[in-house]
Amino acid sequence: MQAAELRNDPFRRITVVPFTGVFGAEISGVDLNNLDDETVAEIREALLRYSVVFFKGQDFTPEAQAAFGRRFGVLNRHPYVKPMDGHPDVFRIVKEPTDKHHFGSGWHTDLAYTETPALGTILYGVDVPEAGGDTMFASQYAAYDRLTDGMKAMLADLKAIYTNANTYGKDADRFKVGVSKAMKVQPAAVKEVAHPVIRTHPETGRKGLYLSPIHFSRFEGMTPEESKPLFDTLVAHATQPEVTCRFRWQNGAVAMWDNRCTMHYAINDFSGVGRTMQRVTLEGDRPV
């Protein structure tokens, strides 16, 4: 058997090439607008194995992207970001050439400030800069595996409190720096939720760290000041280069990630040019 065949086993309908030594994979040989059930099952398997998968050369209308998302679960309607007209399950992430704020620019996992954070996210590059605007990912399985037994034991019953205030409250950066008019985000009333710091993935059974720095308030039973040193240590651990990867976008590329075992970071390193992405989000369940 050829090395490539071994590497792709058990994938028969898609070609899967690992992206780093730890996680992530690029999938080719597939048109996401034209999928049979076996191919969908292989993409699902690849997502569970690699935590984030990338496709290139795709052509997603909003309807087509929503239809693709529905093959993997129920679609989420974002609590604060207005959907595209006529497409309630799809929204656009827009940074205009003059905008300073960049949506998702900070380590996070999607919708961590809700009771049932997102299972997965499917992001499509509509109009991306020639250079800049990459997205980074961090494997939280790998971050957990690299913890010492002492840290694993100490974190076993710890919960973190997440809040929508950091990103959607009236004092959030996006409202101070200036939110893209195209995104029509309005300040929201503050809500908090507690989630375990270590979560077990409901499908793979693997344990991972579950952190969302841009949404973090404090650990349960502690003040923000008491929480900060440990939280900062965990975030540095969870984003060390060895557990990350970085995706360079092109128009027509798609990234699909599992929010239950990864964090991501939209890099705000471009200005004077715009960036438009189209997002569909899969409903998740309560982390345990």
**Shorter beta-carbon distance to ligand SIN: residue 53 or 147:** 53
Q: Which of residues 107-126 bind ligand SIN (CB under 6 A)?
A: 121, 123
* 135, 166, 180, 227: which one binds ligand SIN (CB under 6 A): 135
**Shorter beta-carbon distance to ligand SIN: residue 62 or 104:** 104
Is residue 93 a contact point for ligand SIN (CB under 6 A)? Answer: yes
**CA gap 70, 202 in Å, rounded:** 19
* 104, 117, 120, 196: which one binds ligand SIN (CB under 6 A): 104
Q: What token pair was written down for 238?
A: 């969870």
User: Residue 260: what residue type?
Assistant: R
Q: State in angstroms the smallest separation of the CB of 270 from ligand SIN.
A: 12
Is residue 183 a contact point for ligand SIN (CB under 6 A)? Answer: no
Residue 10: cis peptide before it, omega within 30 degrees of 0 = yes
Strands 192-196 and 244-247: unpaired
Q: State in angstroms the smallest separation of the CB of 286 from ligand SIN.
A: 21
**CA gap 259, 104 in Å, rounded:** 13
**Shorter beta-carbon distance to ligand SIN: residue 210 or 219:** 210
Is residue 277 a contact point for ligand SIN (CB under 6 A)? Answer: yes
| Cβ(260)–Cβ(287) below 8 Å | yes
What are the counts of helices (DSSP H) followed by strands (DSSP E) for the chain? 8, 15
x/- track of binding to ligand SIN for residues 50-89 (CB under 6 A): ----------------------------------------
**Shorter beta-carbon distance to ligand SIN: residue 207 or 264:** 264
**Shorter beta-carbon distance to ligand SIN: residue 248 or 286:** 248
**Shorter beta-carbon distance to ligand SIN: residue 48 or 81:** 81
- Residue least distant from ligand SIN (Cβ): 104
Q: State in angstroms the smallest separation of the CB of 95 from ligand SIN.
A: 8
Number of residues counted as binding ligand SIN (CB under 6 A): 10
Q: Which residues, including other chains, have CB under 8 Å from residue 37's CB and lie 6 or more apart?
A: none
Q: State in angstroms the smallest separation of the CB of 277 from ligand SIN.
A: 5
**CA gap 33, 68 in Å, rounded:** 7
**Shorter beta-carbon distance to ligand SIN: residue 109 or 217:** 109
Least Cα distance to 118 among 90, 83, 76, 89 occurs for: 76
Helix (H, G, I), strand (E, B) or coil at 135: strand
Q: How far is CA 47 from the centre of its chain?
A: 12
Going across the sheet that includes 244-247, the strands are 244-247, 135-139, 262-266
Least Cα distance to 155 among 265, 238, 63 occurs for: 238
Binding site for ligand SIN (CB under 6 A): 93, 103-104, 121, 123, 135, 264, 266, 277, 279
